[in-house]
Amino acid sequence: MPSPHKNLGVALGLAGVLCFASTAPVTRLAVRWFDPVFLTMARATIAGFIALTVVIVMKRKPPRRELWPKFMVLAFCVIFAYPVLLALALRTVPASHGGVVLGIVPLAIAAMAALLGYERPSAGFWIVSALGAATVIGFVLRHGEAGTIGSGDLILLVAVVAGALAYTLSGHLSTGMPGWEVISWQLAIFLPVTLGATIWLWPSHVAEVPPQAWGALLWVALISQYFSFVLYNAAMAMGGVARIGQLMLLQPFVIVALSVPINGERLDLETILFAAAVVAAVVVGQRMRVKRS
């Protein structure tokens, strides 16, 4: 039976997934008016000022020197690679379609954690994760044009790799320091870069940008870029990278649901049935053993 400590990790992980799931539909809304690169830099800048304020108020010392290489790789994935790739892809594919492609993130996280030697998932865990990922891929192929994967999907697959590396390193670093501190230092360290880029890329049509676009920018800055990582990093430290990472199988279907009110997209019975199958995979996967190195 999972311990109360791990149960709390699962609860925090679910809250983090809900926050992460809002990213795709809200980003889809924002890129109607903002350039993807500007959106990425601006969200990191806003979150960076919050993060810098937090570490100053909490009087936290910078990470130890030996951790800086991991922080650099992690920050590149979290601040630059994943958000830019996601924003570029969502210019060409609906948020709901993008969400189901992101459904393979849990398998990618487990593979990345195993590749880096942080965890050793059991054979049963791999089988359940593979079945869940296969369900998501089947969903994508059924809803793609002529049963194929387009350029937007290929961009999203690269984003999956960046996201898996980011989640894995975040979870690993969060075992040695609070999760909020891990994401805070990433954003604070790169604040001069993101601030400079935001000023340089400031849109000339800013007067034409509607309030909902600015609201979307604030959401992806405060929730997607910062608060969601605070929750999810804490969850991975408690429950393990692979186990909590598998909760990401729920993300595509939360995205599909959110894309209806936010983007005006359509929700059908087939999507609900696929969601039920993936939820079943997550429930079974939570009972599989994962050894932590």
For residue 213, the model assigns a pLDDT of 94
Residue 292 parent element (H or E) = strand 290-292
> Per-block average pLDDT, block size 10, for the chain (293 residues)?
71 88 93 94 96 94 87 90 92 82 77 78 80 79 66 85 86 81 91 96 90 96 91 81 75 86 83 77 68 57
- The Cα 110–Cα 243 span in angstroms is 8
- The Cα 259–Cα 245 span in angstroms is 22
Query: How many other CB atoms are there within 10 angstroms of residue 208's CB atom?
Result: 9
For residue 4, the model assigns a pLDDT of 67
- The Cα 232–Cα 96 span in angstroms is 22
pTM of the model: 0.83
Strands (E), 44-159: 119-121
For residue 235, the model assigns a pLDDT of 85
**C-alpha distances in angstroms, 12 versus 17, 166, 234?**
9, 18, 7
Residue labelled with tokens 């279907």: 253
Burial (Cβ within 10 Å: 0-12, 13-18, ≥19) of residue 203:
middle
